[in-house]
Every structure is written in structure tokens, then in C-alpha cells.
Structure 1
Amino acid sequence: MAVDDQEENGTFPTPRRNGHFVGHDDAEKTILDAWNSKRMHHAWLLCGPRGVGKATLAYRMARFVLSGGNEQGGGLFGDAPEGLHVDPENPVFRRIAGGGHGDLKVIERQYDEKKKRLQGEITVDSVRTVGNFMSKTAAEGGWRIVIVDAADELNRNAANAILKVLEEPPANAMMILVAHQPGKLLPTIRSRCRRLNLGVLEDHQVIDLLGRYCPDLDLDDRDALSGLAEGSIGRALQLHDVGGLEFYTEMVRLLAALPDADVLAQHKFAERFSPADRDAAFATVTDLLHWWLGRLIRFAATGQAPREVITGELPAMQRMAAAQPLDQWIEVWEKISELMSATRGLHLDRKQALLNAFFMLEETMRN
């Protein structure tokens, strides 16, 4: 199936297959200027929040460089290219999308067959061959490129192995590091990379992208998801995939009823996350609760009303903020955060954890 077909069918393409890129014109121009001036750095560090397009840009760079950088120029008249776009029908695009380009190596967390999940970090075993790969002559006579997604997931030994390559970069070889939290990287790695910071997307950009990837979503739902995602199309799509907007709507309805708790409704809501196969759903709802309480605390501290994602949540925040001083809400936020973290980490009773969280909030409002 072609990439264009994926997008028409409403399936969100992975960064490797995604030819659509918006919202970071300055970053793209910086890369293009470096290419056109023949000063392409051997290492790039793409930083920013999760889901804003860092990995998509990394693959966009790789396609552009591995196709000779002349998709939109450099033809008969030697015109400089005006963008990084490579046509999805280009053989380089197709081979990278299929994971079969000999001059591109991707380093990422590996799947643990025993635990049936991705490893928590990138280990040194995954990066042992990077130096040898980059030092070889390119199979197609151009560049050799390594993408590390994400570099802040490298363990210590893996990071040191990457650093060794960066200290002695081969000619016509490039490393592109994606980092959600660049502060976790070794300072020596950061110092050897040219850094590009990608900010969050505008709401209208997230809404437009949701319309592109999820065409059956109506405008109100796209607008609400953009509010929950706070500029991250990746987060918006993840929330849509697991029903996050529905969870959020029900959760806020229960919070808005406090301190007069609807115990039956709370039990029905919490029961949805009990089954063993509901890991992703439980992680989503706990993250949403943590996010909502964080906004409540900011509102209580500053008096600045947050954007109302769904109708009724602002009055609920106003009542809760007026019920107790700020320090009380910070304390209960910390307790609930610890409870949810322990529940996920130790596989405790999810339903009971959510019911306990609602009870803590109810008691805080009553005291």
C-alpha cells in the first residue's frame, strides 16, 4: 500500500512512511541552508516535546540526503532545492518506508520477546555496529545515515558508544538524534551536535492533521483533542486511538459532581480499566487525571482560567480551587500521582486505585 493510500484511508503513517510535514518551517530551512552551502553537519540533535514531528523530520532529512538532495532542484540547470520534500513514489522514499535502504540504519528500543513489550531503554547491543556502518563506503555512492529514536532512551553504555562515533565522524556520514528530553543526554553528545528545537504545533495545525489522518472525526472532537494534546499531533492521535476523549469527558463529569459523589457512576467508570488487557487505557486515564489536576493547581495559583476542553470543567475547577488552599491541592495531587504510579508499576487493583483517587478529591473538598 502506498503512503498516499494510507493517508486517504485514515491510517496514521509512521514517521518512516510519513511524507506530510507541517509546523516547523524554520527548522527545515536551517537544514536546507546547511545543505545548499555544503556545510551539512555530521550530527543533528532534534529536540522538542513528544509527538510534534521530530522523528518525521529525521526521516525527511534522511530521504532528502539519500536521494541526492535534488528532488526539487539540482537538475539540468543546477538549481538549489527549495525544500526537503521527496516524492512518495521516489524509490528512495519507498525503500526507506519499507526499511530496506542499505545506507540508512535506525537505532531504537527493541522488543523483548520474554516480557512481550518494548525494552525500557536502548542497550549497547543495539549500537555496537554503528561505527562500522558509518565508516563503510555508502552502498549507493552518497551518504550513510544513522537515526537514533530516541537518544534520551540510550543507556549509559549505549550513549558512550554513540559518543565514540561522534568524536571521530567519518566523511559523508550523518547521525540524526531525536530527543524528547535532551537534558538526559551526555553533555559531550550535545556539544557535538547541531541542535534544532521543534516547538509545539498550533491548534489549527493539530486540527487539520487530525482531519487528514482521521477523516471521520467531526470538528468538535478534533478541537477537543487538540486541547488535550497541547500542540502534539502524536498525543492527539494516541488519545483518539484508545478513546481518550471519551474517558476524559466521563472523568470530568464525575469530577464536576464532587463533593456529591455519584458512587455508582464512579464504580462503572473505574471498572472499565480493570481487565488485564486495558493497560493502555489505564495509562491514558491516569495521565489525563494527572494533567487535569495539574491545570487545577495552575488555576488556583495564578487565577488564570485554562482553556475549557469540554463544557463544565471550568466551573468544576472554580469550585475545587475555592474549597481548599493551594497547598492542599498540591498535596492531594502528589498523593494521587504516587498512587497511580505504584498501581501501574506494581500491578495493583486499577479499579480500586481510581476509586481511591475520587475519594481523596471528595474528602479534600469536604474538609
Structure 2
Amino acid sequence: MLEQARTPLPWHEPLWAALAAQQQFAHAYLFCGPAGAGKRRFAAAFAGWLMCDQPGPQGPCQQCRSCLLRQAGSHPDLLLIEPEEEGKAIRVDAIRQLVGFINQTAQQGGRKVVVLHPAEAMNQNAANALLKSLEEPTAETYLLLISDQPSRLLPTIRSRCRVQPLGLPGLQRAQDWLGAELPDVDDSQRTLLLQMAMGAPLRALDLHQQGAVAQREKVVDGVKALLKGQISAPRLAEQWNSIALDLLLDWFAAWTLELLKLNQGAQETASSADMDKVLGYLASRIQASELLDWQDWLLQHRRQFDNKANLNRQLFLEKLLARWKMLAERR
């Protein structure tokens, strides 16, 4: 079911106002930007606005028959295409369903809208099948593609869409928004959540719901114990079984970037308060060439993970931790 959003997030209101003021619309839009920026909410609001019988400048009316059907998740002229399971590919059968949908007459006599998310999850056959629909648009039918990684889409798909970047808010606005959403969470935890989320407020909110702060504390304690020789890499990898691999990769990638900045004098202290002493210690001992080799290895495996490669989690983490410890043992 598509998210029920009447309006976009506050930091996207200028783009919304410009879009809602237009008299004509592209047949296909690509809403792209960082994960957690609010693209799905924007697309959901825009889908509702396009289908609403009495849309206003702020969004759909939420009261007409079309809006009520959409809110109930039963509007026959709105189609959501997404993977059958999170993290899986969007297959060609789903795009064939899309093609059949757009070739039908609108059952409510208005517009038809397709929301496809995440667009980069389409496999090659699905992407090729979508191209024909983009090349031969149907009147009063709109395709809304959402993507965290638009570079992974076929150039021919990107070129046939109106690309609408949706960025992140500034730090203060992000903190204010998260504070309103999590009034019972203290400032230091909200700051850490935003830091882990690379400034993306919705991602920060999701991390809070996952219990990421407690998981982060467990990982930081484990890293310190590893460097002190108090635990082995295989044992620590086992202890991290319940922690999502994408979180671990994100944290090690962020720490590596901080190490590079500290090593090159681009910043004096680490911005990760829970790892400042560890990173400062490592940065004083490592050669830049060794850091870059480590970063290349880490990013290569991150790409494999993003591309749904079947990594052996235990073996991968053991190797990651062994290589990380070797950085501290360099002279």
C-alpha cells in the first residue's frame, strides 16, 4: 500500500509549489536523492494530487471519492510496483502488469498513476520492458519513479523522465523536525541518529525504530575490545549476528572517511564522539596509502552488497575485522 501523504516534508515545499503550479505535466517523473530524504512521501502526495477531483495548492483534498478510495488502498487507477520482498529485484512480470494497467481505460474516469519504487531494483529484463511504456506514453497516465541511486538506472530510462532531485534539509531543520518526531529522545541521541543517517531525517527516524543507538554502542565496544586484543575477529563477528550488515558497512565507511580527513589534516578531531579516541589513535599510525587500500576494499564489498551479491556474512565480517585490526598494528 502506498504511503498516505497529503503534503511533502517541509524542506521540499518550494519544489512542491513549483510543481503544483504547472498546467501541464510530464508523463514520467524520476524523484531521486539520498535515502531518507522524503522521496516516497513526496511521490505519494503528488500521486494523490494528480488523482484528486479537487486538488489544492497544498495537496489533495482528502475528501473526494478519488481521495477516499486512495486512502482505503482500493483506488483502481493507482498502481504501486515494488519488489515482492524487501531487497529483492523488481522482475519483468511486474512491469508487464504495469503495461497492462496503463493500456486500460481509467475506471474512475480520471487520471491513472503508477508509482515504482525503488526504480533501481528493476532487473535488466524489467528495465527493458519499461522502456516501451516510456517511449509511447498514454494520455492522462503518469509514471512516478523513485530512486536512491539513479546512476544504476539505464540512461535511456533517465532520459525519458523529468528528473526531480529531492535533497536533504540543513542540519538545524533536520534537528528541529526530528525533535518534533522524537520528543522523548535526548539531544545527544538525536544528533547521533542524524549522524548515522548522513543527515537524512526519515532514515534517522527509521534507525531509532530499529534500536540502532544500542546496536551502535555494542559495535563500538566490540571494535575497542578487538583493537585491545580482548576478543578475536571470529568471535566478534558472531556477536554481531543480530546487527544489519548495511549498518555495519555504513559505520565502517563513515569511520574510514573520518580517518582519511584526520590523517590528511582536513579536520582536527573526529566528529563521531563515540569513536573519537579510536579514530585519532588510528589516524596517527596509518599511512595514507594503506588507508586508501582499505577504503577500496571496503567500497568494493559495499558495492557487492548493494548489488545483492550473496556474501557469506560470517566470513566477510571476519575478514573485515581482521583487516581493520591490521590497520592499528601498522608501524
The change in CA–CA distance for 1:152 and 1:297 in structure 2 (over 3 A counts) is same
2:240 matched to which residue of 1? 273
User: Which residue of 106, 112, 130 corresponds with 2:80?
Assistant: 106
2:60 matched to which residue of 1? 86
What do the CA deviations read for 1:274-331 (whole angstroms, capped 9, x no partner)?
3xxx2x53442233122212221233245235762425x3343333222122111222
State the TM-score, normalized to the length of structure 1: 0.77
Q: Distance in 2 between matches of 1:24 and 1:307?
A: 31
1:330 matched to which residue of 2? 292
Q: Distance in 1 between matches of 2:136 and 2:210?
A: 44
2:148 matched to which residue of 1? 180
Unpaired runs of 5+ residues, structure 2, are: none
1:275-354 alignment to 2 at 5 Å? 278=242, 280-301=243-264, 303-305=266-268, 308-310=271-273, 313-335=275-297, 345-349=311-315, 352-353=318-319
Alpha carbons 2:120, 2:149 under 8 Å: kept: yes
1:16 matched to which residue of 2? 3
The change in CA–CA distance for 1:266 and 1:348 in structure 2 (over 3 A counts) is closer
Unpaired runs of 5+ residues, structure 1, are: 1-13, 73-81, 112-117
User: Which residue of 6, 11, 28 corresponds with 2:16?
Assistant: 28
Q: Give the SS at the match of 2:284.
A: helix
The change in CA–CA distance for 1:256 and 1:87 in structure 2 (over 3 A counts) is farther
Alpha carbons 2:52, 2:61 under 8 Å: kept: no
What do the CA deviations read for 1:213-246 (whole angstroms, capped 9, x no partner)?
4443222211211122122123213322333223
Q: Distance in 2 between matches of 1:71 and 1:145?
A: 15
Residue 95 (1) aligns with residue 58 (2): no
1:241 matched to which residue of 2? 209
User: Which residue of 45, 58, 63 corresponds with 2:48?
Assistant: 63
User: Which residue of 194, 197, 219 corresponds with 1:229?
Assistant: 197
AA aligned opposite 2:206: Q
The change in CA–CA distance for 1:263 and 1:286 in structure 2 (over 3 A counts) is farther
1:268 Cα deviation (Å)? 7.9
1:123 Cα deviation (Å)? 0.7
Residue 361 (1) aligns with residue 327 (2): yes
1:144-293 alignment to 2 at 5 Å? 144-252=112-220, 261=228, 263-264=230-231, 270-274=237-241, 278=242, 280-293=243-256
The change in CA–CA distance for 1:16 and 1:295 in structure 2 (over 3 A counts) is same
Question: What number of residue pairs does the alignment pair up?
Answer: 326
AA aligned opposite 2:24: R
What do the CA deviations read for 1:168-212 (whole angstroms, capped 9, x no partner)?
111111111112222222222222211111112222333334334
The change in CA–CA distance for 1:281 and 1:89 in structure 2 (over 3 A counts) is farther
The change in CA–CA distance for 1:157 and 1:231 in structure 2 (over 3 A counts) is same
1:52 Cα deviation (Å)? 0.7
* Identical amino acids, percent of aligned pairs: 27
Q: Give the SS at the match of 1:248.
A: helix
1:335 Cα deviation (Å)? 4.4
What do the CA deviations read for 1:13-43 (whole angstroms, capped 9, x no partner)?
x961344622112321231122xxx211111
AA aligned opposite 1:17: Q
Q: Distance in 2 between matches of 1:306 and 1:106?
A: 46
